[in-house]
């Protein structure tokens, strides 16, 4: 579940990210009163099994049943893990169009939550989050080009710094205007390589000091393309 908003006296409007429908909103009647057996299942971080019904003439679906099939107790018991999971859910809510199946986004989110719930995983939660965010951008259609200039197409030298603009979609060489203050960031060659590796699935390629930048790039891209505040 991505979000729950109180509605009327005892109901809630829940935003779900489902394998079959993608992002979908549904009316959960009685969810806040506790009279429904499944009301306690409506918590983020866990994977749920839900039954949804169409409501004639209504934009919202109706949530008929919900149960937890994959609890993630370690996530909700640790502030860093929970914070990382919450940010990923916000990115998915922002970047996913309504009722559009997105199996790759589902897989990325499911993998992240599983890693965050694994106490034997030694990679910091914020590192997993930053790497997942870069991959989510790609699945949303806003992936960052980290090899060539997005304007002229020329390949940027692998051993030299390059400018990147998240809103523009990737690297911008100086000849094409790269370097505008407040628009482009200068990436050292090694950092650019680490970001590219994380985008390809190697979370461990990111150093602790890379994570804030990676997250900022994700936020900036979503702000520009999905119309959300960073």
Report the relative pairing of strands 170-172 and 162-165 from DSSP bridges: antiparallel
Sign of CA dihedral 30, 33, 38, 44: positive
Q: Which residue spans of the chain are classified as CATH 2.40.50.140?
A: 3-70
Q: Which residue spans of the chain are classified as CATH 1.20.1440?
A: 73-145+162-225
Residues, the chain:
230
Quick one: average pLDDT of 61-73? 93
Between CA 61 and CA 27 the distance in angstroms is: 6
The fold of the 73-145+162-225 domain, in CATH, is de novo design (two linked rop proteins) (1.20.1440)
Is the per-residue pLDDT at 16 higher than 60?
yes
Between CA 155 and CA 194 the distance in angstroms is: 17
- Are 125 and 84 in contact by the 8 Å Cβ rule? The answer is yes
- Are 62 and 29 in contact by the 8 Å Cβ rule? The answer is yes
- 74-116 pLDDT, tens digit per residue, is 999 999 999 999 999 999 999 999 999 999 999 999 999 999 9
Q: 230: pLDDT confidence band, cut at 50, 70 and 90?
A: very low
Q: 123: pLDDT confidence band, cut at 50, 70 and 90?
A: very high
The DSSP output letter for 158 is T
Cα–Cα distances (Å) from 97 to 9, 102, 140, in that order, read: 29, 9, 9
Q: What CATH code would you report for 3-70?
A: 2.40.50.140
Q: 182: pLDDT confidence band, cut at 50, 70 and 90?
A: confident
- 126-145 pLDDT, tens digit per residue, is 999 999 999 999 999 999 99
Between CA 218 and CA 230 the distance in angstroms is: 9
């Amino acid at each position: 579940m991505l979000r729950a908003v109180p509605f009327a006296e005892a109901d809630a409007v829940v935003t779900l990210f489902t394998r079959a429908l993608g992002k979908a909103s549904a009316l959960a009647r009685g969810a806040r009163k506790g009279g429904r057996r499944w009301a306690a299942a409506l918590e983020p971080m866990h994977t749920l099994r839900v039954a949804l019904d169409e409501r004639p003439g209504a934009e919202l679906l109706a949530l008929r049943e919900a149960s937890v099939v994959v609890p993630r107790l370690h996530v909700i018991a640790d502030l860093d893990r929970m914070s990382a999971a919450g940010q990923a859910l916000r990115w998915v809510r922002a970047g996913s169009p309504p009722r559009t199946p997105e199996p790759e986004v589902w897989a990325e989110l499911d993998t992240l939550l599983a890693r965050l719930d694994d106490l034997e995983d030694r990679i910091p939660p914020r590192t997993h989050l930053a790497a997942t965010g870069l991959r989510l951008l790609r699945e949303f259609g806003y992936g960052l080009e980290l090899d060539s200039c997005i304007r002229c197409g020329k390949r940027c030298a692998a051993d030299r710094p390059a400018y990147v603009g998240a809103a523009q979609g990737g690297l911008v060489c100086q000849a094409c205007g790269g370097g505008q203050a407040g628009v482009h960031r200068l990436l050292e060659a090694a950092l650019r390589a680490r970001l590219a590796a994380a985008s390809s699935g190697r979370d461990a390629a990111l150093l602790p000091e890379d994570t804030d930048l990676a997250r900022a790039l994700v936020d900036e891209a979503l702000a520009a393309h999905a119309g959300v505040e960073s």
